[in-house]
Chain A
């Protein structure tokens, strides 16, 4: 009930000014000589904390492309909508973007549940969605391009690092109770078992969204880690629950040297809002860190600071994913000579675009991209120091090889397979179920 009321308020209060701003932003634009790009990120509600930045990133990228002369001789026009952290509203807004605004591509979504909610709409109307966030995999849609990390580009390398470099023998898999942590932990558990880790050396723990009382869980972790074997926590704890978690770790005297925590959802943006003291030394695995020293990255940071007019703002991994996704889309449209979804979907496979951290990202036939994996330690200025990285780019794997049910499945959107979940054993495409 509250959600519905919230929506009505949110719609009335928020969308009007945003729509007005969007119209005011491009006063001279006419429908015929512009290409519209949809931006589907929550600007209000719980997810606004992460997604607002991505909206700004998209506006910056589109702005810059227009300065370079637009695309196919036309100007790009951003259509910003606010799905207000409300999953069904994501689908509604996606439909609006595709049918009313007739956008050529949508850049958006953050949580997996919002992506799942948009999927049927975007497949029905044959749109294009660029999804910029690391996620649990086990999906490949003809209409979605996944520019964030699949589990084999984040979780698995992180576990490898802990196992090989830090000699971790006991594992705590702690996560928030929803689809991303559950699937990731399932994959990790299977992976750990394949590496001969005994069941008693794995502890799995789920907590509700926004959990704030971590006393007993941290005490359990402390006990679990006090047996003398090196212990680490692999955290898929999401969003707001992280701060009380790390605070409790610090207060109970669990330091990063004894029991390091490697997190998949804590980035520069999240760190900028919290007291970093209890987090120093804990780890995070991403494909991009703001602290990586390359000229491309320095240029991107400078451009961001100039656009947002605040030199204190940070950059993060999903921003890089949008940067790569957008530039791939631009290249694909140029290659195809049209924004027609079918042509672009065909043209984009194999397109390469530079990563900000070095190397060339490539769009693979399974609609995932190749990425480097970096592990960083949190510093007290809210930045990461890279302590380990893969020596080559890792190709995103849509269907995990460590889960028995998805092992024989591959995604390949090039002929002759042309399928998002092709079973290599039965040689059948099981249709569009994800």
Chain B
């Protein structure tokens, strides 16, 4: 998609020579009157007129068509507000570099406000994709060709099939070749020759394509009068066998997918719980404001994006340390200002931190407004990793999973290998003894709470990529966080990790059968029963510390 304009222009010419060599009379340089008319109604017409104009443009076959239609599809075709000229814009972060759609002449850079976009409806987008698909079948980029083949396969008529057949021999890229082959094989299933049909089914059996499944399903179904849609029994049995074959694979992929969904839900749970595992698990402080510390992290991401609107990806990465620092500082302030006076009084701590959470929420409401803030997702985090037609993993979840594991390992290392970690463990095990050994317990408390809060902030950055950034963000996660920590075993980081992932996976395996609401209830019921049986969670703390 990101072909520079000049190359695109050249390949437009090349495409036109190739695909529309029949239209020998069309002169690519001088614009014809109907073409200009079509452009005009594209520019000024109502939605139905615009639809007509697109069809007309496709018929007239002018050299600029591909560039114009592609720009239209991408939302880069504008009219200038001053002289209502039709222009193609290329985003340069501050505004648009525009060029005249008719002549192709560059017109320099303009502001966003100087242009008004030509809007589309879904129907028009579909038409556009098909037209562009035909034009782009011989594009240089294999990804573009693959998209073109897929777009064309949806409405394959004889003309399209001829184009595809012609392309199949020349095609070098395996993925594109495969897509063409499947389309043609699907076509062969309609062949009058039985042998061809059998061959097609045999060949399609090994393909992971939804189209194939639908087609085979249709063949074994009965129609309204109770007759089989497919009259030939041999073919029907063959289709049935092929379906079983494909469905087995489908089932495998769908369990892989469910495990991935579970892991990624688990990763979110672990991320939001891990900070709590430190403040609640290690220090024994019930911090109801934990969710709000995550919210602060999410808002930090928003602010970072506002500060550097042109570098989305970097701003998200930079938000990670920034969110850590901000949430840690707020956490330390809460600890020094309130919690340290309440050690050993869990009920008071709970109420006081709940108050803090309300104060934090309302301050965010006053500063940023009660409306949710829009945090954009960087390009590399959107979309999915398409392994085949049946299995695709979304990038944002994938990165969050990796990120969660990184944070976990880092935290474990801090606790195991640094001086702070040693002191934290010492204070957690026996406060008085640690104090007697000269450890400044008050300072360690503040640092530990800061560490836990900072990690909550980091979790907030991850959450900003998958959910709303608003004042209520924290509330949605606080109960889940406590659940994970208690289930995993208070004071045990590894327990939190295992608990988070197993709850995530359990939830996702239940969801298809029970529905989202009931799945959540079932998981909660399970935890209640589990805690009855094992009050100290999955991995109870051993030794003397556990008794105190």
Binding site for B on A (CB under 8 A): 2, 5-6, 9, 13-14, 44, 46, 48-49, 52, 166, 177, 205-208, 210-213, 215-217, 219-220, 226-228, 240, 243-244, 247-248, 250-253, 256-257, 260, 269, 272-275, 277-278, 280-281, 377, 379-381, 385, 387
Contacts and interface: CB of A to CB of B under 8 A. Distances in A.
Contacts of B195: none
A52 B517 CA distance: 30
**Nearest 5 pairs between A and B by C-beta?**
A273-B372, A251-B394, A228-B214, A48-B370, A215-B261
B121 A207 contact: no
B122 A247 contact: no
Contacts of B376: 275, 277
B468 interface: yes
A178 to B, nearest CB: 11
12 contacts: A5-B354, A208-B516, A216-B261, A228-B215, A240-B470, A251-B382, A251-B384, A256-B125, A257-B129, A260-B122, A269-B371, A379-B117
Contacts of A272: 371
Nearest to B477: A212
A273 B365 CA distance: 13
Residue with the highest number of chain A CB atoms closer than 10 Å, among B117, B257, B517: B517
Contacts of B355: 9
A209 to B, nearest CB: 9
B394 A206 contact: no
B397 interface: yes
A48 B470 CA distance: 11
B468 A243 contact: yes
Given A177-B517, A227-B214, A252-B392, A220 B512 contact: yes
A215 B476 contact: no
A241 to B, nearest CB: 9
Contacts of B372: 49, 240, 243, 273-274
Nearest to A2: B354
Given A2-B354, A210-B472, A217-B516, A274 B374 contact: yes
Given A251-B383, A281-B121, 20 more contacts: A5-B354, A9-B355, A9-B358, A13-B362, A14-B362, A44-B370, A206-B516, A215-B397, A215-B508, A226-B210, A226-B213, A240-B472, A243-B467, A251-B384, A251-B394, A252-B392, A274-B372, A274-B374, A275-B377, A380-B117
B546 interface: no
B129 A219 contact: no
A49 B476 CA distance: 16
A273 B371 contact: yes
B217 interface: yes
B290 to A, nearest CB: 14
Contacts, number: 141
Nearest to B355: A9
B365 A44 contact: yes
Residue with the highest number of chain A CB atoms closer than 10 Å, among B265, B370, B377: B370
Nearest to B250: A223
Nearest to B354: A5
Contacts of A208: 516-517, 520
A267 to B, nearest CB: 13
Residue with the highest number of chain B CB atoms closer than 10 Å, among A49, A213, A281: A213
Contacts of B257: 219
A279 to B, nearest CB: 11
B515 interface: yes
A266 to B, nearest CB: 12
Residue with the highest number of chain B CB atoms closer than 10 Å, among A215, A280, A387: A215
B258 interface: yes
B440 interface: no
B516 A207 contact: yes
B126 interface: yes
B122 A253 contact: no
Residue with the highest number of chain A CB atoms closer than 10 Å, among B351, B396, B472, B520: B472
A51 B119 CA distance: 30
Given A2-B354, A251-B395, A273 B508 contact: no
Contacts of A166: 122-123
Nearest to B265: A213
Given A228-B218, A240-B372, A244-B466, A215 B517 contact: no
A377 B120 CA distance: 9
B167 interface: no
Contacts of A240: 372, 467-468, 470, 472
B100 interface: no
B511 interface: yes
B217 A253 contact: no
A185 to B, nearest CB: 13
Contacts of B512: 216, 220
A382 B480 CA distance: 33
Contacts of A205: 515-516
B384 A253 contact: yes
Contacts of A228: 211, 214-215, 218
A256 B120 CA distance: 12
B375 interface: yes
Contacts of A213: 261, 265, 268
A275 B382 CA distance: 12
B244 interface: no
B418 interface: no
Contacts of B264: 215
A219 B351 CA distance: 41
A7 to B, nearest CB: 11
A295 B257 CA distance: 52
Contact of B466 (A216, A247, A260): A247
Interface in B365-390: 365, 370-377, 382-384, 386
B384 A385 contact: no
